Amino acid sequence: MALQKNVQIKNRKARFEYDILDRYTAGIVLRGTEIKAIREGKAAIVESFCEFANGELFVINMTIQEYSHATFFNHAPKTERKLLLQRKELKKLEKEVKNSGLTIVPLLLYTNDKGLAKLEIALAKGKKQFDKRETMKERDTQRDLSRIKKAFNN
């Protein structure tokens, strides 16, 4: 598989499971062949979440598959990876998570114009089961409305 210039790996499940309150863009500390594997599009953030340890933010459960052309110096697919944010953003996020029980979830893993990997994270509140049903109902209603509009315009 060829390396892609712009990579965008989305976490579609996050918008269904959580109410998104605030968004941040964070850099990721990567080792060795991880960036090459991301550029191949071999990463997944569906089951991942973010956690604080010693005042630093880490993304847990993010999978970056091993790079296909690497030797035995390849990276481990599921390790904690440190996220880079400004100190005031980190303090604000840590306070929100501790005080109000909110969660930090990754929404989008992408490469920017300079080729650096960035992770868009969100401060989120978990949805209850009835909220999820309501979201599904709204989605179905919007789909039906767009079908009717399309049929009406033709």
- The domain spans of the chain are 8-127
State residue 3's pLDDT score: 62
In this prediction the pTM is 0.77
Judging by beta carbons within 10 Å of its beta carbon (0-12, 13-18, 19+), is residue 51 exposed, middle or buried? middle
Tokens 């060795």 map to which residue? 32
83, 50 contact by CB (below 8 A): yes
Q: What is the pLDDT tens value at each position of the chain, 154 positions in all?
A: 566 667 888 888 888 888 889 999 999 998 878 888 888 888 888 888 899 999 899 999 888 888 777 666 666 678 888 999 999 999 999 998 888 888 999 999 998 888 889 999 999 988 887 778 888 888 889 998 899 888 888 7
Q: How many CB atoms within 10 Å of residue 90? A: 18
pLDDT score recorded for residue 28: 93
pLDDT value at residue 83: 92
DSSP letter at 5? S
Report pLDDT for 119.
93
CA dist 43 and 41 (Å) reads 6
**What DSSP line would sit under 30-91, residue for residue?**
--TTHHHHHHTT-EE-TT-EEEEETTEEEEES-EEPPPTT--TTPPPSS--EEEE--HHHHH
What pLDDT, on a 0 to 100 scale, did the predictor assign at position 75? 67
Give, in words, the CATH class of 8-127.
mainly beta
Query: How many Cα atoms are found within 13 Å in the side-chain-facing hemisphere of 106?
Result: 31
pLDDT value of residue 41: 84
